[in-house]
Amino acid sequence: MLKKIRLFVDMDGTLVQYQGREVGIDIFAPHYFENVPPEINLLNFIKDLIHHETEVEIYILSAIFDKKPSITDEKKIWLNTWLPELPEQAWYFPPESISKVEYMHRVFPDWNQALNILIDDMDYNLSAWQTYDNHIALESVGWDKWLAPADLGFVQLDSSKSKEDLKKTFHNLIRKYKMK
């Protein structure tokens, strides 16, 4: 039986709205990240988990770009502004050259003794994540529905839904996993 539930949340295009080339914005411009709005329903869902779901450990897991190392500082400013209730010790910023799941295996010695859930918008992160036992990959959709994501077998978490709907989806998923 798994003793912990850990939820890892990506930032770019998941917790934070993606505003890249499609709308003529350079994501590598100085201070870009500090001014990008959150996916408000997902942000409120995460805040609700932090305040009311003590059995779920919440972490930020957001890659840093090799082309823009200063992005880490920008992401920290964003988190301090929008999610101050999550302590900095819960923020992880792996380099983009290593998979998120590989990085987290190095960070947590008890990695395989927990249910590890990732909310992300990138297929390669989700695919790598769900190849391990006790791992669930949730594909963040909502802002990018027009991209028509391929059906790669990920459970989709629609960030345009209400906080209550997101919470229901999350709890149903955990319940279903525990029944396995």
Nearest to 23 by CA among 37, 6, 11: 37
Output the pTM of the full model. Answer: 0.85
38 bridge partner residues: 16
Backbone torsions φ then ψ of 156, nearest 5 degrees: -95, 135
**For the chain, what is the mean pLDDT?**
81
Write down the pLDDT at residue 87.
Answer: 97
Contact 63, 95 (CB under 8 A): yes
Q: Please give the residue that has the higher pLDDT: either 1 or 17.
A: 17
Contact 129, 135 (CB under 8 A): yes
* Secondary structure class of 50 (helix, strand, coil): helix
- Cα distance between residue 72 and residue 63, in whole Å: 9
CA separation, residue 116 to residues 93, 101, 104, 160, 170 (Å): 17, 10, 10, 23, 13
Write down the pLDDT at residue 33.
Answer: 77
The CATH number covering residue 73 comes to 3.40.50.1000
Q: How many domains does the chain have?
A: 1
Convert the pLDDT of each residue in 25-63 to its tens digit: 677 777 777 778 898 989 999 999 999 988 899 999 999
Q: Label residue 161 exposed, middle or buried (CB < 10 Å: 0-12, 13-18, 19+).
A: middle
Domain that holds residue 135: 4-178
Position 15, amino acid:
L
Per-residue pLDDT averaged across 137-162, rounded? 62
